[in-house]
Amino acid sequence: MKLLRFIAGLTIALLVAGPLMGQKRDLVIQADKTFSVGEYFKAIEKYKKAYSKEKDRLKRIAITVKIANCYRLVNDTRKAESYYSRVVKQKAPDPKVHLYYAEVLKINDKLALAKSEYEEYLKSEPGDLMALMAYQSIDSILSWNKNPTRYQVANVKDFNTKFNDYSPFFASKDYKELYFSSSRDGSVGNKIHGGTGQSFSDIFYTRLDNKQKWAVPAPIDKTINSIYDDGAPWVSEDGNTMYFTRCRFDKQMSLGCQIMLAKRSGNKWADPIAVPISKDSIVIAHPSLTDNQLTIFFVSDMMGSIGGKDIWVAKREKADGAFGAPENLGPEINTTREEMFPFAKSDSLIYFSSNGHPGMGGLDLFKAQLGQEGKWTVENMKAPINSTADDFGIVFQKDEEKGYFTSSRLDKSKGGDEIYSFVLPEKRFNMAGRVINERTTLPLGGADVRLIGSDGTSFEYKTDSTGNFSFKLKPETDYLLVAFKRGFLNGKLRETTMGLEVSRDFNATLILAPYEKPIELPNILYDVAKWDLRPESMVALDGLVETLEDNSNITIELMSHTDITPFRAMTNLELSQNRAQSVVDYLISKGIASDRLKARGYGPDVPRVVDKKIAEQYNFLNVGDTLTKAVIDKLTKDSDKQISNQLNRRTEFRVLRNDYVPGGKPGTEVDAQQQILIRGMEELQQGKKRRVTLEKAPGDKLPEKTNTNSKTGVIDKLP
């Protein structure tokens, strides 16, 4: 990460280099001087030479710490870990050894050991809030790695090398041309950089061929690349304007970084010129402009910065004009540490890297959105975009969640900073299911299935002999699924893709109840010899209210049954009539028209006929048995008799007509279908997000939880 590592050390260089000039030029002092100007790689060999000559144990530990610091600053975290481990075992007196050791351990993905080293450091420095935040971030790293975002990340092996390759930017509207920074062989600045041990960075160019392979990169025009560090380019959409960073270094002295501007005419770039932004700053770097080139975001340590490097913004009135006074983006974005490599999607949406916000380690990539109140909301991009190493220099294809970024993560890469592609795959949602007959559990062919969405979409499907259907769903949409078939009550369920972060296949079962025979209502319970509805009965009847609303063409008879147990206060027939009427009264109170309802009590006169479901549940009963008094009396166990009487106590309804419309004029089932669809669309538009649990796959065992208009299957507990 050439430009980043270099400019991060400039402040240290200026603060330390001066006082050392007059000191005795022994080996350590010479190494310190080299370190002070940011030549960390060159300083390593000098410190090692000094170490070999030193006999004093404490001084040798101090030199080892400096070697470890150099390896950390050149981003060789494996060697840094080795040296920090050595001085920790030797009990180096500086507590920061534990902090730096923890940082490289985290980058090297040794999280448990890193956590213990943070703890050791915090024992000595409990007030270090940045260290505390880094310590607490270990749990976030584990969580984010376990539950990554949907981004897909891949190393771009076509052009990455063992050298530092970083900060890509598109050079054409079709995204087939790419500029990026690299310290590989062949650069103009071919002298070895004392800070990294590699060449000075240049800007390189590559193009995607017809086989979707990136061509071998080549350095761009020598009018752009210089003997210094050149990189982190921003290019206009037409490809004719480039802003980039140049960091100059001469005779072991940093001359700072500045933003350069170059214009292209045809295939030739004009000599770049420095962009005047601030005169009192060591660092002006990492330019990113909005598409209209009226706003520039950049990195600087100028007066007014919150931390080491901050992100600033400057604006102008026309694309070829001068930028106005820069403004710091403020504490929502900038911290007391480093914020770098901004990428502007617009004036109000930027991406940047930081090691000051809570993250995974090193530099993390963040997304920042400017709200209407003028404050930025910052969000970590999490894994897999971020890692425990440095992640930075991101670029997006316009209006798409795909592009490239840079990372120094320790995977099977060639080494150093490398460029990675990323893409957020489109979320895909599919619904597959079946329609079945509630009474027989067999599939229903010829059923009409309608899907309507809160976005106004509507689709139809007619099931085949297998009863199956399928639909494609859209993200962030509520859906209503309805099934119709003549002779059956309409069935429906609701589903939503709102808030779902990963693709998903939904499996649904729509169960339609045939109404040629009475349909039992579950959980209609009464106290002994009473007909007042209990609270749980009212909850159960709300399902019947919905059934009647969804089947607006039917009228029904409410049928109440008792067993043969006699009562002194009234006959079973009177009791059942009162109970049936209490159900009707409740339905009317819920808005169901009274001319659609009829109450009738049957007492014990219509005993239950055992069907397949009941016979499977109770092995002392057979399919077709009618639970008359004579049949029940033949049972030998009292418990079996009680169950049989319980089965006879029930509340049912049967359909009397299927052509009802208000006012008495006959209607059709089609009218009812239109009503349920209209009402469903109104509910979706009102934002009612009611969800159901869908089944795993067609063909599975009939689930206990399905959304259906049938109310059968639960037996009254009292006479």
Residue of 454, 458, 459, 469 lying closest to 509 (CA atoms): 469
Pairing outcome for strands 504-512 and 429-437: parallel
Name the band, by pLDDT with cuts 50, 70 and 90, for residue 200: confident
DSSP letters, 250-308, are ETTEEEEEEEEEEEEETTEEPPPEE--S-SS-SBEEEEEE-TTSSEEEEEE--TT-SSS
Q: What is the mean pLDDT of residues 400-413?
A: 88
Sign of torsion over alpha carbons 173, 176, 181, 185: negative
Name the band, by pLDDT with cuts 50, 70 and 90, for residue 178: very high
Contacts of 315 (CB under 8 A, 6+ apart): 294, 295, 296, 323, 324
Domain spanning 2-146: CATH 1.25.40.10: yes
Sign of torsion over alpha carbons 115, 117, 120, 126: negative
110 pLDDT higher than 90: yes
Q: What CATH class is the domain 519-657?
A: alpha beta
Rounded mean pLDDT of the chain? 86
User: pLDDT tens digits for 683-709?
Assistant: 777 664 443 333 333 333 333 333 434
Element (H, E) at 716: none
412 pLDDT higher than 70: no
User: pLDDT tens digits for 224-241?
Assistant: 999 899 999 999 999 999
CB < 8 Å & 24+ apart, contacts of 60-69 = 61/87, 61/90, 61/92, 62/92, 63/28, 64/90, 64/92, 65/92, 65/94, 65/97, 66/31, 66/32, 66/35, 68/97, 68/100, 68/101, 69/35, 69/40, 69/100
d(CA 358, CA 376) in angstroms, rounded, equals 16
Residue of 163, 136, 287 lying closest to 217 (CA atoms): 163
For residues 242 and 194, which has the higher predicted lDDT (pLDDT)? 242
258 pLDDT higher than 70: yes
Q: Which residue has the tokens 């410190």?
A: 47
Each domain of the chain, given as residue ranges in start order, spans 2-146, 152-423, 429-512, 519-657
User: pLDDT tens digits for 497-556?
Assistant: 998 988 899 999 999 999 988 988 888 877 777 788 888 888 889 989 989 988 888 999
DSSP 140: H
- For residues 419 and 165, the answer to whether their CB atoms sit within 8 Å is yes
* 3-class SS letters over 626-681: ECCHHHHHCCCCHHHHHHHHHHHCEEEEEEEECCCCCCCCCCCHHHHHHHHHHHHH
Q: Which two tokens stand for residue 446?
A: 């010829």
Q: What CATH class is the domain 152-423?
A: mainly beta
Question: pTM for this one?
Answer: 0.71
User: pLDDT tens digits for 7-40?
Assistant: 444 333 333 333 333 333 489 999 999 898 888 9
669 pLDDT higher than 70: no
Residue of 406, 421, 306, 401 lying closest to 357 (CA atoms): 306
Q: What CATH class is the domain 429-512?
A: mainly beta
Among the ranges given (12-16, 182-186, 291-295, 476-480), the one the predictor scored with the smallest mean pLDDT: 12-16
Decide: residue 345, CB within 10 A, 0-12 exposed, 13-18 middle, 19+ buried. Answer: middle
Name the band, by pLDDT with cuts 50, 70 and 90, for residue 323: very high
pLDDT for 706 equals: 38
Alpha helical stretches, state H, 360-445: none
Name the band, by pLDDT with cuts 50, 70 and 90, for residue 89: very high
d(CA 461, CA 41) in angstroms, rounded, equals 69
